[in-house]
Chain A
């Protein structure tokens, strides 16, 4: 398999190109700018559209337009830009339009800084715009996964006609790793039932207005049924040394990479630590987390670069069977393997 050394941000664009993404609409923001830059470099060579929009708001609305025309389309940004895109994302979800958004999280709130953080968890995983909707959220932790999960994002977006997020942070976006390029996608779903193409038989309506209250309630219930299906079918997790683990640590994205090192370090010290990593954040692996106490796990530590956003979902999933502890770093600070191991020892006396 051919391999290329590339940044996570580039890998997402390669993944998009391989998935047949026909258009990129975006606005520059650190630490996500390489996504726009690499799309600007790659997409024109492939005859695909790259456009630097006048704003984050314009970019997501261009995504809405392209998606409404049946194109595979993507945008990328970071926290402040994602905040601006929320209205447009609500429209995409309300009109059942498939699209892919890459969020390379940075420190917040406000202008914050450009260091890595995971503070966008709630605004992305809970569907940060108005109304009852959810985004499907994939959380890569390597350059390879930036490519692979971006490709998967396009597949899921089309399968469920819903926005899909690739959510990660500045570390994964800026880091270079070897990426094996998968085969380009050659078969695409038929969207002729709904996509507007400027032809006689594509005179469809893309719309999220339901004036009648019963109609809108029905539509919200339809969306809820879709999300239940996503919850049932699409949960993905990764475990590392969990088979004989007594303590489970939970993390996603770049923190899960540090956690992997922490697990090895803990094992060197005779501490039976294992890693449980949600790869999908919506759907969240509720059942898998709930099962942890029955697998001989005596303590659960959630490690995140945000102030207890992930641990809320962990504790909801645990339904009071056990309560997860939290180790949180913020402001651009990344936890080290050593500090995680020391926290485990301190909390659980191991």
Chain B
């Protein structure tokens, strides 16, 4: 007895197209003779056959397939024009076990989204891209696409595409085939049954690759657009065969599906204890606030200035760090924006008990000048009774103001004496501690593991010596 064949929709489709407005919830919105419906069906069948309906996510682009989400009984995201591969990249990374299907037309993929598709392909994102090439913008009413053929008339090429002004039809498979990462690249067509069968095989290969985490698969499908082309269905099929295929050869451009490589994605660590540990909680000293004995510097507003490479920024950061460990409020602001012009670098450091307002020291009460231009620039803006410490190794002029306290300190010279010019930052910090009386050199030394985390004991010892040397110099010469 002959078997009775029951025709039904593949289970990859929603039974009743509930998202589709209007009364006709059992048929698609596509025009008669359009290729989208055929490709949709091939995808839906594959999802059913591989039992992937529930774990698949379809990205609907802008264009005629903007409403792909009407049909697929999967997770669905409708996205901005051209951005399907970018969205799909994040969706795939968020759900590494899902099968992500990015579906795009030619304007969406090859024009406005041209970079996005190349970059997603180049990253080897785990997804399958179905690229419907019908050589025209369908949804917007038949304008030129990047794949429009030479001489083809569209509403924006009414005299035919002129390659001298509009360029050549773009060949995406060939372009993507220049990249190393993609695992599968194929171009097929929907114009007759043998080619639909080949398309079916390519669709299934792409979906299986996504399922097996093989990376990026790209399936370009030549597809009929009778409305856009102003032809009937049969003429459209013939037009593909006679005009599109010569320009867009059907081929499997690459198939590395059997390579053992699989895409790996990290598992987010969300456990609070683990997060605390990784972010370095609990490795820091407790606060130890002291009174600042120097009235002028009760609120330190310091400018450190010098040549790039003199450790200007690190001197400031070290002082802010020490201040913070002592329990003060601190801020550090690098020379930034318009101030960065010229060869000198400078930073503002504030150290005080009160909440800090402006971080930039427009009227500093202390300046550490490491070179002559810095002395000339910042001496002028010191407040009366302010402190000017300058690097007497490199500066041979005298400050001109008489209403400030001046500390010439051979900062570079002492660092060189220790055998490493780079330690002049910590010489400055030691000298600063002695001038302000804010910090004790012994305690600064105990902060070395914080200031030089990850550095060798030798480096720490050298910097400890630098702190002591700067401190002693000021104590011995200016007490």
Contact = CB atoms under 8 A, between A and B. Distances in A.
Interface of A: 2-5, 14, 17-18, 20, 22-23, 25, 31, 42, 44-49, 51, 53-55, 57-59, 61-66, 68-71, 73, 87-88, 91, 95, 107, 113-116, 170-171, 174-178, 181, 183-186, 196-200, 202-209, 211-212, 254, 257-264, 331-334, 336-338
A174 B340 CA distance: 13
Interface string B68-98: 0100011111111001001111110111011
Nearest to B85: A58
A45 B75 CA distance: 30
B281 interface: yes
B279 A5 contact: no
B275 A184 contact: yes
A257 B362 CA distance: 13
Contact of B331 (A20, A88, A175): A175
Contacts of A46: 268-269, 275, 278
B115 A202 contact: no
Nearest to A44: B266
Contacts of A31: 336
A263 B74 CA distance: 59
Interface residues of B, number: 71
A-side interface mostly: mixed
B350 to A, nearest CB: 9
In the A-B complex, the 3 residue pairs with the smallest Cβ-Cβ separation, listed nearest first, are A198-B98, A115-B337, A261-B357
Given A5-B320, A58-B86, A257-B356, A199 B79 contact: no
Nearest to B95: A198
A257 B357 contact: yes
Contacts of A207: 69, 76-78
B340 to A, nearest CB: 8
Contact of B338 (A42, A186, A333): A333
Interface string B289-329: 00000000000000000000000000001001100100001
A66 B338 contact: no
B337 A66 contact: no
Contacts of B456: none
A205 B75 CA distance: 6
A332 B86 contact: no
A22 B94 CA distance: 8
Given A62-B87, A202-B75, A87 B80 contact: yes
Contacts of B269: 46-48
Contacts of A66: 90-91, 93-94
Given A46-B269, A260-B355, A204 B75 contact: yes
Contacts of A205: 19, 69, 75-78
A171 B360 contact: yes
A65 B355 contact: no
A23 B57 CA distance: 19
A113 B83 CA distance: 29
A305 B272 CA distance: 39
A87 B55 CA distance: 29
A100 to B, nearest CB: 14
A23 B267 CA distance: 11
Contact of B360 (A185, A206, A334): A334
Contacts of B330: 5, 177-178
Contact of B77 (A3, A196, A200, A254): A196
B280 interface: yes
Nearest to B14: A203
Contact of A199 (B54, B78, B278, B281): B54
A17 B272 CA distance: 10
Given A65-B90, A205-B19, A257-B359, 4 more contacts: A49-B93, A171-B333, A176-B331, A331-B338
B336 A71 contact: no
Given A49-B93, A64-B90, A115 B336 contact: yes
B463 interface: no
Interface in B324-364: 324, 329-334, 336-338, 355-360, 362-363
20 contacts: A2-B283, A3-B284, A47-B268, A49-B266, A49-B268, A54-B116, A58-B116, A61-B79, A70-B94, A107-B337, A174-B334, A177-B330, A178-B329, A196-B77, A197-B95, A198-B99, A207-B69, A212-B21, A263-B357, A337-B357
